Amino acid sequence: MADEVAILGVGMHPWGKWGRKFVEYGVKACRDALEDAGVEWKEIQFVSGADTMRCGYPGYVAGATFAQALGWNGARVASSYSACASGATALNTARMQILAGFCDVALVVGGDTTPKGFLAPQSGDRPDDPDWLRFRLMGATNPTYFALYARRRMEIYGATESDFAKVKVKNSRHGLSNPNARYRKEFTEEEVLGSPMVADPLRLFEICATSDGAAALVLSSMEYARKRATAPVRVAAISTVTPQFPSSIVELPDIATDSAYSVPVPDNTFRGSVATAAYTEAGIGAEDLDLAEVYDLSSAMELDWYEDIGICKRGEAEKLLNDGDTTIGGRIPVNPSGGLACFGEAVPAQAIAQVCELTWQLRGKAGERQVEGAKAGLTANQGLFGHGSSVILKK
């Protein structure tokens, strides 16, 4: 397709709690991506940075921050903030620059250093900030919100605590051989169900941690790529859609639904529409996927994503899981990287890390976690305040 771009290089800094500046992690990821691409830093014409909002001034200008750390080379820059979707937004910004003819090769990077404990809003009184309000009025930390979704799934579809634990077991097995994962330990269902309850019905091992880490990509035009790679992995679609009014499902941070009195509820949910837009742009359907990387903020939420990306019908996610379809070797492996269950959340880097995993998989370079014969994959996540994020890669 004429609107495709190539991924020439990928790189990551391992996830963990390293206690250093996020720029250091990002530089390591960038250098690895450049080496993987066979491209020198001086050749990069555009730098697209995904922002972190908890690290002070440098986080707000991530593009220039990383350009400076790598050594000023005159490249144009942009910085994007879309919460958990920031990486996809940064990737889309670079893609548009290439497709518009403003550059041939670009670097996309996101890195994060997270505080201890659950993520919290910036300090100070901000009664017009819905994210601040849900903490102040409801005490709703992220695990509380994840638990509300899990409880909803139990009530509507009959999901059980055992189902949620099995997602964690699957992902821990996938991430065991991933050198970039923070948690490389295989869990049993009994161990997961025996971990402390954090927000009923979710337990400690079913909720993603907050982590330090970084990921980077070298993106180019197809013409540029053909001079350097025989068959590069291609970006076939990037979806960054927003919700449609009215919403009948409570979404963070607005702990409310819209009135559907005068306007009918859309046929698709917000998260469902994120993947649908990507499929439409790429000219494929869910049936064409070989694997997917989804945003398992909790083990329960991964089940929701199965249905949102269309690999099963509503209410059938538990069966898909229990039949082994979403494990490596199954019909449609989900989170072969280990997902957030093994990585934890490094907000501006995570959507880029998902693309790194798909790239390794489509190249056939994922080692013990390789999905055999992978030719097409999808990423999906959701950023706070209505930021959709889905990327489709093709071999």
Dump pLDDT digits (tens) for 186-202: 999 999 999 999 999 99
Q: Does residue 305 sit within a domain?
A: no
Q: Is the pLDDT of residue 54 over 80?
A: no
And the tokens for 392? 């489709």
Residue type, 332: I
Q: Please tell me the pTM assigned to this model.
A: 0.96
Q: Does residue 290 sit within a domain?
A: no
* Number of CB atoms found within 10 A of residue 326's CB: 29
Residue 293 β-bridge partners: 379
Q: Which of 294, 346, 344 is nearest to 321 (CA)?
A: 294
Q: Does residue 391 sit within a domain?
A: no
Domain span holding position 13: 5-117+211-226
Buried residues in 122-142 as b, exposed as e (16+ CB within 10 A): eeeeeeeebbbbbbeeeebbb
Residue 1, pLDDT score:
46
10: domain CATH number is 3.40.47.10
Type and span of the H or E element at 203: strand 202-203
Q: Does residue 340 sit within a domain?
A: no
Q: Are 16 and 211 in contact (CB under 8 A)?
A: yes
Burial zone of 121 (CB within 10 Å; 0-12 exposed, 13-18 middle, 19+ buried): middle
Strand ranges of the sheet holding 376-383, from the earlier edge strand across to the other edge: 76-80, 46-50, 105-112, 212-220, 5-16, 233-239, 387-394, 376-383, 291-294
Secondary structure (3-state) at 95: helix
Number of domains in the chain: 1
Q: Which of 141, 211, 147, 201 is nearest to 175 (CA)?
A: 211
Q: Does residue 204 sit within a domain?
A: no
Q: At what angle do helices 62-70 and 22-37 cross, to 10 degrees?
A: 70
What's the rounded Cα separation, in Å, for the pair 170 and 288? 23
pLDDT average, residue stretch 300-323: 98
What's the rounded Cα separation, in Å, for the pair 85 and 81? 8
Q: Does residue 333 sit within a domain?
A: no
Secondary structure (3-state) at 131: helix
What one-character DSSP code corresponds to residue 121? P
What would the pLDDT profile of 258-293 be if each residue is shown by its tens digit? Answer: 888 889 999 999 999 999 999 999 999 999 999 999
Q: Does residue 347 sit within a domain?
A: no
Residue 261, pLDDT score:
83
What would the pLDDT profile of 158-178 be if each residue is shown by its tens digit? Answer: 999 999 999 999 999 999 999
Q: Does residue 248 sit within a domain?
A: no
pLDDT average, residue stretch 308-323: 98
